[in-house]
Amino acid sequence: MPGGRLSHQDRLDIAAGLADGFGYAEIARQLQRPTSTISREVARNGGAGGYRADHAHYATASRARRRRPDADRRTAGSSRLGDPRAAYVERFAEMMVDGGLPRMASRVLALLYTSDSRTLAAADLVRELRVSPASISKAIGYLERVGMVHREPDPERRLQHYVIAEDVWLMAWEISARTNFNWAETAAEGVALVGRDTPAGERLTQMAEFFQRLSEDMSGGAGFQDCLAVLAVLWKADRLLTPDELATKLDWPVERVTDAVDYAVKAAASEAGGE
């Protein structure tokens, strides 16, 4: 799968795909890119109805030039520490910020994820990130609320250790899908309030359709959601589980578990056939 930034030709292909009525997932498959890359690109540059390849290309270059001085300062600060991993943590965090996560929460999550230790205490986070305890507390509070991090008490000292959730990326995906659904619902409420035929109603309608489409692409429907739930349980298990064991853990009928597994098998076969 190609990496790096989108090229001008990539953006022309995105614009052509949108004009032909393709969904983000289909455009992503054609460009061999993650669907999230396409959705963020379109969202930042006018939405599905207003995306223009040339404008998007120059606007992205302009944003990169504005961010470069801050990135250079962060990299210089990491170099003074003599730890190349610190610079990597900042780049990792910046990627999550671009994906919509708060900056300090992103830095904390990146540090937890790249640490050799399974857990870190608040004092460790303060020292490594060179920020105030209040900043760490606020970031941890956010990460706990969305289920990405949890606390473990120290049995010997009066300390709280923070541990990254094992299914953190699944949680991040679900949070993003829920957020897009909420945007769509809020915009639809606005349409009902101001009227679809008004200028504001037209803008809100476009917004509702965009986020509804994005939410559907990410959620994939009930079968996809059930598949994610089964995968999350298997991820945490230390061995393979039988359908009966999965049903017990999920509090589902066995038939729902087998349907979710069948969905995953058919999706994998379809993906393999598309390649």
**61-119 confidence digits (pLDDT tens):** 766 655 555 444 444 444 334 467 788 888 888 888 876 778 999 999 888 888 887 78
The CB density around residue 258, as the number of other CB atoms within 10 Å, is: 15
Task: Give dist(CA 174, CA 52) in Å, integer.
Answer: 29
Would you kindly state where each structural domain of the chain is located, as residue ranges? 8-63, 81-166, 220-275
Name which residue leads in pLDDT, 170 or 26: 26
CA 177 to chain centre: 8
Burial (Cβ within 10 Å: 0-12, 13-18, ≥19) of residue 133 = exposed
What is the rounded end-to-end Cα distance, in angstroms, of the chain?
12
Task: Supply the pLDDT for residue 104.
Answer: 92
Q: Does domain 81-166 have CATH number 3.20.20.70?
A: no
Reduced to 3 DSSP states, what percent helix, strand and coil does the chain have, rounded to the nearest 5?
75, 5, 20
> What pLDDT was estimated at residue 85?
76
How much is the CA Rg of the chain, to the nearest whole Å?
A: 22
- pLDDT tens figures, 10-55: 898 998 888 888 888 889 889 988 888 888 888 888 888 888 888 8
Burial readout 86-96 (b: 16 or more C-beta within 10 A, e: otherwise): bbebbebbbeb
pLDDT of residue 25: 87
pTM: 0.45
